[in-house]
Amino acid sequence: MNVAIVDYNSGNISSVINSFKEVAKNKVNIEVTADLNKIKSSDKVVLPGQGSFKSCVDALNNISGLVDTLNDFAINNKKPLLGICVGLQMFADIGYEEIETKGLGWISGKVLKIDNQNGKYKLPHIGWNQINILKDSKIFKDIENNSHMYFVHSYELVPNDKNVVSATTDYSSNIVCSIEKENIFGTQFHPEKSDKMGLKVIKNFIEI
């Protein structure tokens, strides 16, 4: 089985790569690539994202054909895709970080700044926080509710359809921290920085 981690120059993804390789233990081929043919032919795709919504969308668009290839992979061919952090946020129709920016439009909704209640909550939301698992998501197999995951973000995905939400975390409000819609999965937290539980999320995705 081939898992492609999309490398589109969106910041440092070495910890994502290392975590997937650690879990794969040479049983699964982990390919770090921006090659459209390699992405197309892979069994699963991981879309990481670091930095702002706009910078990540721009970086995707800078590689000719990449957005179309991802659309084909996830929407037309319905193959499993995991978005991490801004990778998840880009699933939305639109984001409002820096300037209004169009997303991939896979999950109807928008990406807004976390309401910090007039400074009561620090932004970015950074560090360990509990997740509240709302539905029996494939990526949460054998993961206990209220497990701690690691977060670094100031913006949140607000989906129109709450049925896609598989987990939330409590920080000023119930923030969406995981989604599952058919073959599309996303985590706002960083599984690659979330110790054993995070590695379990990665393992679950690889084993889907």
What pLDDT, in 10s, does the model give residues 96-120?
A: 999 999 999 999 999 999 999 999 9
Domain containing 109: what range? 2-207
What's the CATH number where 174 sits? Answer: 3.40.50.880
Total number of domains in the chain: 1
Find the catalytic residue in 144, 153, 190, 207: 190
Instruction: Give the chain's mean pLDDT.
Output: 97
DSSP code at position 35: -
Annotated catalytic residue within 56, 85, 97, 177 = 85
Strand-pairing partners, residue 6, are 33
- Is 125 part of the annotated catalytic residue set? no
The dihedral built from the CA positions of residue 30, 82, 52 and 176, taken in this order, carries a sign that is: negative
Whole-number pLDDT of residue 105: 98
Compute the C-alpha angle 42/47/50, nearest 5°: 155
pTM: 0.97
Active site residue 148: no
pLDDT in tens, 41-82: 999 999 999 999 999 999 999 999 999 999 999 999 999 999
Using the predicted structure, report yes or no on whether residue 10 has a pLDDT greater than 90: no
Check if 98 is active-site: no
Edge to edge, what strands does the sheet with 155-159 contain? 101-102, 92-95, 107-113, 155-159
pLDDT, position 11: 83
C-alpha–C-alpha distance, residues 136 and 172, integer Å? 25
Residue 7 token pair: 């490398």
- Mark 167-183 as b/e (b = at least 16 C-beta within 10 Å): bbbebeeebbbbbbbeb
